[in-house]
Structure 1
Amino acid sequence: MNTPFRSAPVHADPGVATAEQGVVMLDGPNGVAVAMTPFAAEATGQSLIAAARTAREQPDDAS
């Protein structure tokens, strides 16, 4: 993505993941809650880590 686009505030606080009855629950800022299968949670985690590495190499307007 070449053009920065932010439709929502950038949050510095991490989300918290828990496992309940075979489902991964992710609680994020502002009451965001997501329920995922273990596969979806693992793939999301890997994607988030890759995106974080890329973002660290880009100009930072959010910190």
Structure 2
Amino acid sequence: MSTGDKIHNTGDKIKGTAKEAAGKAVGNERLEAEGKADQAKGDLKQAGEHVKDAFKD
């Protein structure tokens, strides 16, 4: 996994965590759901990169 991909995936997870927290703080369920989706997106991308790395070896 390249460093750029790691940073981007971590960024998605951080952005999702922030959105989820903001949604909870203001009672906005849509924003909270978007945050959870962003976190899942980051996790999925990271898992895909790990699979690619496994096949490179």
TM-score under structure 1 length normalisation: 0.40
Q: Which has the higher strand share?
A: 1
